[in-house]
Amino acid sequence: MGRLFNVSNRVPLAKTAAPGGLAVGVLAAMRARGGLWFGWNGETTSQEPGEPDITCRDALSYATIPLPQTLYERYYSGFSNGTLWPLFHYFLAGFRYDDQEYAAYEQANALFASRLLPLLAPGDIIWVHDYHLISLGEKLRAQGVSQPIGFFLHIPFPHFEVLRALPTFAQVLRALLAYDLIGFQTETDRESFLGAVRIVLGAQSVGERGIVATGGRTVRTGVYPIGVDVQAVAQSAAKAAGSAPVQRMMQSLVGRRLIVGVDRLDYAKGLLERFQAYRQFLESYPEQIGQVTLLQIAPLGRQKVQAYAQIRDSLEQSSGRTNGRFADADWTPIRYLNRNFPHATLMGFLRAAQVCLVTALRDGMNLVAKEFITAQDPDDPGVLVLSNRAGAACELTEALLINPYDTQGIAGAIQRALTMPLAERRERHATSLATLRANDIHRWHTRFVDDLQAARGRLSSRRGTEPKELTAFRP
């Protein structure tokens, strides 16, 4: 096999925060197979970027470029996170569309393609990650790239009735069909994509096993639920349990039980609904007042997008109301922290908690849910309260599954989790942990890369043919 090129919007060279799911997955693939990680370096410039800056760190290779400031604003804050992110998460109230931002998105993808192209060799394979770079495969094909190119969507893919709100939805579908393999987190996401293809290209375009035939070429689709490194997380959590930050946190609880939430500050995570449900929990089960503490860690992100500033204000007001109503001189019901912690410290917090709340309104997967299960002590495990709108719910069926909009239902699930007998907790945890071991991070990248590598033998008869125009559907 040739080199593996991972491509994502951002290459997180700085080690100032816990890595997200995309970074965890890409790093695992690179450590197993080598290759190079290409993307934005997090810096903006007033000029057109030159050749990529090549960096080697911990035996891994990275190639990064800055982005022009005006392009970054319209591509990243604009179309990527003001259009695609809310649309793909079914938040049409926060969705907007602007022609100039879409043009910047296409321009940014073309810029990535032009800077990646000189680095490629004939035997390489290319793995593109996430919604920022949907058009990258199409741009690479336009420049003559014939190597296998795969795409993995880390977030949900919306049903067609939501997708069609985007004026350029046909262009998005056409861009995706430039890839050889498209991976999704869940079967629901894949079916949403294939359903859109059936409507636009006709039912005959989708064959068995989710293979799309268009323009003389075939595009394969698959479900590849991203996992965690079970052994590494378990070891890290056990070690971190004795660390100074975790010990200080535990001592400050003064024997109270811990409920934990760890999420990037984002409206898709259901944080406001979570705070409302926790207040409902204290109202419905007054015997728990003063006996539990909710530690919510929500690092800031995408602060230049107005919707994120609004949710921050709403969360501060909500936590303030709960604390103002229920707090005592020696007890604060909610500890709400807008800051990053090292990944090891977070794993220690997860191990210390009796309950983990994952109440996403919509989520591609949610690795915090999987990390909580993995971080727990199998002899005395805590309980996961998990949104049925998160991709992780397809695998972690032994969690207490909830509707994230049902505040009373979440309150009841928290109470059930806190009062669940040890035998039941052990049984649920063991089943969930076995699932995570069978579908860990190594199986995720191995399955995807092997399937993409298998595409190499199917390429010779297909190159030079573009997908046909998506004109069958008329809105």
Q: Pick the catalytic residue: 132, 154, 429, 445?
A: 154
What string of DSSP letters covers 291-317?
TEEEEEE-----TTSHHHHHHHHHHHH
Residues forming beta bridges with residue 129, ordered by sequence position: 152
Q: Pick the catalytic residue: 124, 189, 266, 363?
A: 363
Say if CB 359 and CB 402 are below 8 A apart: yes
Active site residue 363: yes
Active site residue 343: no
Say if CB 168 and CB 87 are below 8 A apart: no
Q: Which residues of 312-348 are buried (b: 16+ CB within 10 A; e: fewer)?
A: beebeebbeebbeebeeeebebbbbeeebbbbbbbbb
What's at 69, amino acid-wise? Q
Burial status of residue 393 (CB atoms within 10 A of its CB: 0-12, 13-18, 19 or more): buried
Residues forming beta bridges with residue 258, ordered by sequence position: 293
Sign of CA dihedral 237, 239, 242, 247: negative
Q: How far apart are alpha carbons 449 and 454 in whole angstroms? A: 8
How many residues would you count in the chain?
A: 475
Burial status of residue 33 (CB atoms within 10 A of its CB: 0-12, 13-18, 19 or more): middle
What's at 448, amino acid-wise? F
Report phi then psi at 381, rounded to 5: -80, 155
Residues 397-406: contacts with CB under 8 Å, at least 24 apart: 398/427, 398/428, 398/429, 398/431, 398/432, 399/369, 399/428, 399/432, 402/359, 404/270, 404/273, 404/274, 404/359, 404/360, 404/361, 405/273, 405/361, 406/277
Q: Where are the alpha helices (DSSP H) in 178-270?
A: 187-201, 230-240, 244-253
Query: Two tokens at 238?
Result: 């056990």
Q: Which residues contact 350 (CB under 8 A, 6 or more apart)?
A: 237, 260, 262, 356, 368, 371, 372, 375, 376
Say if CB 64 and CB 39 are below 8 A apart: yes
Active site residues: 154, 363
